[in-house]
Chains A and B, each alone.
Chain A
Amino acid sequence: MDISVEQRESRLGWKLIAPSIGVIGLLIIYPILYNVYLSFFDVKLTGANLFVGFANYERLLKDTAYYSSLFTTVLYLFGTVLGTTVVGLFVALLMNLHFPFRNVARTVILLPYFAPVISVVFGWQFIFDPVNGIYNHVVVEMLHLSGTRHNLIGDPKTALLVVILFDIWKHFPISYLLIISKLQSINRDQYEAAAMDGCGPIGRFFHITLPEISFVLGTLVILRLMWNWNKFDEVFLLAPNVETLPIFTYYTAFTGIIDQGMAASISVINFLILSGLIIFYVKKILKW
């Protein structure tokens, strides 16, 4: 049988990616579809699921706990995305200056990003421990800024703040890394030309640096939004009382009065929002 070179190549291509498609299908596409299916049922652990149509969604949209969780998630996203981007930018600008041992500093800064989550979570919990923690020791005993010891992680009012700070600390290195790589590629001539044109250091930042790194900043914001929308491990390990949507979903599905149908409907909504973000990223930022 005669087939063209292009057809042969195309067949080879399909053969080569078939294993990946199989694995992705099994581990990602099937669960997603199954989750969508479950969201229309009153799920019984015995297996006798009862079709309820959109009832799960109706109940969810009337549930104040859901909106409270949504609000927490929005605060969490706002704080972490803004924080990592601003801190990353600031550190990148700093590390782009010339000073002794710059290379050492540049490397050390990356450490939080590479440290295993569980070990640094224990570290942070120890820092804020109400009895033995350094934070209370410094604030209460040494500086006398407060008369009483606080359990910042245990108190739901302040736990969100600690979780946001933790995320900024752990993830600003990736922002820093992306921003500094772009900073280094900006032509020095441009800065010199701007200086000759009467532009001081602040003007040069706004007229040259910022336009040059705007693409990277856009990418960072949208990527961090996507990552943190689904962030479970860090939040749950550090402060399980901060109920962002993934944590709320987990509690609904697996603790207390188990309601997996409703948990599935939360996940479906999350999935749709995330898909929207991804489409926006691909169309508007990557411009594919």
Chain B
Amino acid sequence: MASLKLKNIHKRFGSVEVLHDINLEIKEGEFVVLVGPSGCGKSTTLRLIAGLEDITEGEVIINHNVVNLLEPQHRNIAMVFQNYALYPHKNVRENIIFGLKMAKVSRDIMDARLEKVAKMLELQDFLDRKPAQLSGGQRQRVAMGRAIVRDADVFLFDEPLSNLDAKLRHQMRSEIKRIHRAVQTTTLYVTHDQVEAMTMGDRIVVMKEGVIEQQGTPMEIYLKPSNTFVATFIGSPSMNLMDAKLFPEHVEIEGQRIHFKEKIQRPDFLLPKEGLPIKLGIRPDFFLDENFASRGGSLAKINYAKIDLIEPLGFDKELDVQVGTQSLKVRLDLRTTAKEGDTINLCFDMERAHFFDIKTDKNLFIHPPIRPQA
């Protein structure tokens, strides 16, 4: 086990800078997920740590040692590749123990570890097969086995589940979590799938265009997104962002005033008289049908939402509604009887709403503008 630290990392390909000042610390045994859209630099970050790309500026530190100049084979890192990168000419057994052979581990230890890993991943029956004779899920497991068997300091996963079908992906997700719990190796896991990020990580790091936008536990990221990008990227369906105006005592959306109640966190920064234009963010799951919401409390209300479309999902329904000129996605439970074309009054908990600066896209409660003089 080892700690991993990225210090002021920059990466340029020619004149294009793809990583801008990345700083990240991963504690011993921690499972950190690096998530972001395609091309955000997450895979590049992983490859820098692995030593498969040169670092333009900054330091990669494993266990307090700077490893910038070490070749990949000397970093004691194991990596699972997106398309597995198994050796096609070697069978499953040879694929798994290849790293141990290179490290000149004794035959007895090699056999013992192989047996343990094969059992853990249920690969005992396939040890003599070539990769071409395996299914996608089995290949995935061999790739995992190759990483686990080496007892490396750090595991790197580069979108390992993206080539699997939905059911298998779900299964492997729990499998990887289970294995991590068993071996407790420091892990950095790259994905573009926010569900994987939410379900697997001890901590999530959200990246966009070569910059870390936010890092924190899955719940912190979900409940306190620091800007509109994180707010809309994490969570499915995406958070609604409505044009609104913020006043000291209320928010105005499409001419409707929603007053802050007593216990609500209010803006403690200066607001212009005509109101501060903001994006009001509310997750689709946080809406309630007024008919089934308990009265009172801190519930705020948006009236006269016109229903464009209803998609029944089983235990709840997803609605596309129109409030004035703005469209919202709303998820309500099955009891809602309103039909397409009806209007509906929607309740939500103001404490779960977010206020984003319209210019900087930042969460005003996390990054407030100038506060009034005390």
Contacts and interface: CB of A to CB of B under 8 A. Distances in A.
B79 interface: yes
Contact of A193 (B71, B79, B103): B79
Interface string A159-201: 0000000000000000000000000000101101111111110
Nearest to B147: A196
Interface string B64-88: 0000000111000111010101111
B313 interface: no
Determine the main DSSP class of A at the interface with B: helix
A198 B50 contact: no
Given A189-B81, A212-B89, A195 B71 contact: yes
Interface in A197-214: 197-200, 203, 207-208, 211-212
B72 A196 contact: yes
B176 interface: no
B146 interface: yes
A214 to B, nearest CB: 8
B83 A197 contact: no
A193 B102 contact: no
Nearest to A214: B89
B99 A190 contact: no
Nearest to B89: A211
B354 interface: no
A198 B103 CA distance: 7
Determine the main DSSP class of B at the interface with A: loop
A196 B102 contact: no
A197 B102 contact: yes
Nearest to A192: B52
Contacts of A192: 50, 52, 72, 79, 81, 85
B245 interface: no
Nearest to A196: B79
Instruction: Name which of A195, A197, A211 has the most chain B CB atoms within 10 A of its CB.
Output: A197
Contacts of A196: 50, 52, 72-73, 77-79, 99
B72 A190 contact: no
A123 B161 CA distance: 61
B102 A203 contact: yes
B98 interface: yes
Contact of B72 (A187, A195, A208): A195
Interface string B37-77: 00000000000001110000000000000000001110001
A211 to B, nearest CB: 4
B11 interface: no
Nearest to B82: A189
A198 B81 CA distance: 16
Contacts of A187: 83, 85
B99 A198 contact: yes
Contact of A190 (B52, B73, B85): B85
Interface string B280-298: 0000000000000000000
Interface in B90-127: 98-99, 102-103
Nearest to A190: B85
A115 to B, nearest CB: 37
B78 A199 contact: no
A187 B89 CA distance: 13
Contacts of B50: 192, 196
Contacts of B150: 197
B70 to A, nearest CB: 11
A198 B85 contact: no
Contacts of A195: 51-52, 71-73
Instruction: Name which of B51, B77, B89, B150 has the most chain A CB atoms within 10 A of its CB.
Output: B89
A199 B73 CA distance: 6
Given A194-B87, A198-B99, 15 more contacts: A189-B81, A192-B79, A193-B81, A193-B86, A194-B98, A195-B73, A196-B52, A196-B73, A196-B79, A197-B98, A197-B150, A207-B87, A211-B88, A211-B89, A212-B89
Top 10 A-B pairs, shortest CB-CB distance? A189-B85, A198-B102, A197-B99, A211-B89, A193-B85, A195-B72, A198-B73, A196-B79, A189-B81, A197-B98
Interface of A: 187, 189-190, 192-200, 203, 207-208, 211-212
26 contacts: A189-B83, A192-B72, A192-B79, A192-B81, A193-B79, A193-B85, A193-B87, A193-B146, A194-B98, A195-B52, A195-B71, A195-B72, A196-B50, A196-B52, A196-B72, A196-B73, A196-B77, A196-B79, A196-B99, A197-B73, A197-B98, A197-B150, A199-B73, A200-B73, A207-B98, A211-B88
